Each structure stands twice: as C-alpha cells, then as structure tokens.
Amino acid sequence: MILFSSNVENKLQEKLIKANPTHQFIFCTNMDEAREILPKAEILVTYGEDLTEELINEATSLKWIMVISAGMEKMPLEAIKQRAILVTNARGIHRIPMAEYAISMILQVYRQTKKLIDHEKSHQWAKHLQMEELHGKTMVILGAGAIGQEVAKLASAFQVKTIGVSRSGASIDFFDEVHQMDTLPSLLPKADIFISILPSTNETRGILHYGHLEALPNHALFLNMGRGDVIASADIIRGVEQGQIAHAVLDVFEQEPLPADNPLWDNEFITLTPHISASSRHYEARALEIFQENLFIYNKEKKNYVNEIDVTRGY
C-alpha cells in the first residue's frame, strides 16, 4: 500500500494510479487523516514535517518514505535509522524556480525596484535613482549542487563570474571556479554577490557569522535562500547597519513564520520574502516524477535510488 499524507491534485493521482495498476494508493489530505491507515502502509509519500518518532513506531509495515521536498531537518531521522527505512527526497526539483528567484531578487535590488514602486505610488518622477548592473559582477555561491549550478547557469547570461563552494571543490559545469569550504574566507573579498543555498544539517547550522559578512566588500549583496539557521539574523542586521554589506535578501529565517516584531522587517536594506523561492505550479508534478522513477526501482532493482538520503547525515 502506498499512502499519501498530503493533498495531491486529482490529475496527478489519476496519472499515478494509471501508471501503477498493481499498487494500491490511498490519498489523504493530512497526517491526521492518514494516521489510521499508517500501520498498513509499505510506502509513505509526505512533505516530511508531519512525521514524528511516535508515527514511525506506529508505521509497522513501512519500508520507504518519499519526501516530496528537499528539507529533512524536521524528520525523526534517528527513529527512521533504527528501523532501516529507505528515505528519498525531491532534491533538485527546486533548481529552476530558486535560480529564477535569485536572479530576480538581485535585479530588484540593483534596479531599485522597491523605491521605484514607492515613487510610483506617490506619483514621483524620480529619475535620480542610481541603477546598478549585474553584468561583470562576481558571484560566490555557497552550495554548488543542482540549485547552485542553475543559478550559475543563469548568471552566466549576464556575464557574471561564478565561484562555487562545495565540500569536495570538484569542477562543476557553469561555474568558472569551484573551491572547498575551507577556502571561503579568501573568496569573500572578491564577491559582489554572496549566495547561501545550504540545507539545515548538524554541519551547516551556524556555519556563517558576522565575520563572513565583514569579509565581503561593503557594496556586496548577501542572499540566503537555503535555510535560515546557517547564520543568526542578529549578525545580518549588524552587517547591514554597520555597512559591512549593502543589502541582504532573505527568503529563510531562524523562526518561520517570521514574527511581526522582528527587526528584520524594518530595515530598508533588507528584503524579505516568506520562504517562497522554491514555489512553482510545477512543484508537485516534478516531485512525483522522482517518486515514479524510484517506484520503478523499488519494484525491480531495489538499488541506486534517485536522491537516497543518508539518514546519519540528514541529506
């Protein structure tokens, strides 16, 4: 039995059923609805945030969890590890919307979009605004996976120099350079734009701090669309207020939703969006394409799954 603990479009449900006539599918809209059926499920498809250690213990027949998102930080990984349950996720499906988000937000800052909108509302003919070009800039991307690679690909159209930072430092298409993580301090002074796409893991939480912002040129733009716990918001505010960076664009935060009284809201040199960089009407269909590919593997080879997660690492 394949159990879905979150809502799926009817046309996508029909497509899955038609492609897999030998499987029984149960589609629920939430985990409260799915819980009664959970002990019978061999495969669970979920966004991951609705799972707890208690539910894993109740899922006595469970062999595989397909997480139709990329983030794993809220998963009860230790309980899953103890049961030796296979976990796969939808890593990679975010690359197109997140890369487009990154370029769009950088251009909004460079082309003074917020001020232009304010001037439009107040009927001001403000030709004095100083515009900046993306052309010729240097971009340092922390996290050179599928999303980072897509950002570099789009940035190359603007003749931006792209420098990737990864664990291995291995060469990757569309990056002009790729370096290992320990070289980051020497790369930051070169960065006009610094982007973090890091996930939330034991290795990445708090990996950035004020000193990294201090190392950037004071005209630099910092953009975080990975996870909010890689750097403290207080460090970002300090970096902007003390002129270490010119602007910060944040799509992710230490606490979400971001409280209305958080000082991040009130700084004109910080642009906030509500964790929507990966949003796309194609999201669900792309995630289920990976699920379908892995379901074929599950039925046949039971090895070499797409996006198999190492539960000891969380990615």
Which residues are bridge partners to 205 per DSSP? none
The SS3 call for residue 43 is strand
pLDDT at 109: 98
Question: Which of 43, 45, 81, 80 is closest to 64 using CA atoms?
Answer: 43
pLDDT at 93: 93
pLDDT at 5: 97
0.85 exceeded by the pTM? yes
CA distances from 167 to 14, 49, 76, 82 (A): 41, 27, 25, 27
The SS3 call for residue 200 is coil
Question: DSSP code of 308?
Answer: B
pLDDT tens column, 43-90 = 999 999 899 999 999 999 999 999 998 777 789 999 999 999 999 999
Greatest CA separation for the chain: 66
pLDDT at 31: 96
Residue ranges in the chain modelled with pLDDT below 70: none
